[in-house]
Structure 1
Amino acid sequence: MSRDISPRPRIVIGISGASGVIYGIRILEVLRGRGIETHLIMSRAAHLTLASESHLAPRQVEALASVTHNNKDVGAACASGSFHTLGMIVAPCSVKSLAEIATGTTSTLLSRAADVTLKERRRLVLMLRETPLHLGHIRAMAAVTEMGGIVYPPVPAFYAKPQSVDEMVDHTVGRVLDLFDLDVGLAHRWDGMRKVISTR
């Protein structure tokens, strides 16, 4: 069987049940018009979070992706290492999903796709949305990091002087996509302290 090399870049987007579903939605919106093929996996809990944090229905979020996969379908194309991608972003990433990925417990397509991303040495970014953290959370974060993943809690960067929640979300999304060498024009670039001082 030959490896599936896509004619355009692909990224797998996982949306789990943690608070912060807007991050996954915004990433899908940004990538949609930039020639990036997105493969969406939403957990059942993500549907519940979507209902409480957004006015969008699941089908509207799914429409933002190039392809949508059922989280129960562990035989989906993106469950195989032969399915070529730039990597995967889980936005937001729940502690449950983090724990499954850290231990290799691939009971869902989301955790299976993340595991495949790690074994293929591709970029995996987990936007962990939990606070405060206990030692078990920190150990799981360390385990994923040791395997090559990146734990990226969506902490706002106030040096960008955001004027709205949307601006905070966009800056974070821009920085996450930077990790895939995708400059989408959303990240506020730090110009150095000298420039900040000189403008006062």
Structure 2
Amino acid sequence: MKKIIIGISGASGAIYGVRMLKMLGGLKNVQTHLVVSPAGWMNIRHELDMDKPDIHALADHVHRDGDIGACIASGSYKVDGMVIAPCSVKTMASIANGICGTLIARAADVCLKERRRLVLMVRETPLHLGHIRNMALVTEIGAIVAPPVPAFYAKPQTIEDMVDQTNANILAGFGLDVQEHLNVWQGIKG
């Protein structure tokens, strides 16, 4: 069974984390651990009109962002990796600089030190040099920076299509079978 941590931070784009939980919930042999920051909860309510019980129902395990004693805060608890979707630049900066004041940052730090997959779906634009330097830092220590940029070659018809295509690309990197959500580039015909 694969164990995946989903972090939802305070950046706009809560739909990415929520739809990812829904995608993972439809897969066999995947267990999810969810951590949402206080600002993440604000965005979930504002952007998606969803409340905590709605989101909690999508995950197998839910942890408070302040619970530094949670199982996922230790390298001895084996997980396959973590996705922070969306990832605020504040969260990215904490991870880049080893500041583990929240469970999201600590779980990410554990993934890095244990050499487990960590994907940061950084949601900010435009970027200043400090953001770019933190992106370089987290990349150098082993994270994958994957801003949620739509793949227009997939000809998405809805926001959900765009989100699911991006999420499927991320989850495919964990070796998960998400082909039903993934429009694979076949080249231009003609």
Q: TM-score, normalised by structure 2?
A: 0.97
Aligned position for 2:18? 25
SS at match of 1:153: coil
Aligned position for 1:191? 186
User: Hey, what's the Cα distance between the residues in 1 that align with 2:36 and 2:85?
Assistant: 10
Cα deviations by residue, 1:22-73 (Å, 9 ceiling, x for unpaired) = 0100111111121210000000000111111012112211110000001101
Q: Segments of 4+ in structure 1 off by > 2 A?
A: none
Structure 1 unaligned blocks of 5 or more: 1-7
Cα deviations by residue, 1:115-153 (Å, 9 ceiling, x for unpaired) = 000000000000000000000000000000001100000
Residue type of the alignment partner of 2:144: I
Residue type of the alignment partner of 2:23: V
Name which of 73, 77, 82 aligns with 1:88.
82
SS at match of 2:150: coil
SS at match of 2:35: strand
Identity of aligned residues (%): 55
- 2:43 pairs with 1:49: yes
Structure 2 unaligned blocks of 5 or more: none
- 2:84 pairs with 1:105: no
User: Hey, what's the Cα distance between the residues in 1 that align with 2:26 and 2:152?
Assistant: 28
User: Hey, what's the Cα distance between the residues in 2 that align with 1:161 and 1:183?
Assistant: 21
1:82-161 correspondence to structure 2 within 5 Å = 82-161=76-155
The structure with more radius of gyration: 1
SS at match of 2:41: helix
Q: TM-score, normalised by structure 1?
A: 0.92
RMSD between superposed Cα atoms in Å: 0.8
User: Hey, what's the Cα distance between the residues in 1 that align with 2:119 and 2:8?
Assistant: 12
Deviation at 1:192, TM superposition (A): 1.7
User: Hey, what's the Cα distance between the residues in 2 that align with 1:158 and 1:173?
Assistant: 14
Aligned position for 1:5? none
Name which of 8, 15, 37 aligns with 2:8.
15
User: Hey, what's the Cα distance between the residues in 1 that align with 2:163 and 2:26?
Assistant: 18
Residue type of the alignment partner of 1:191: Q
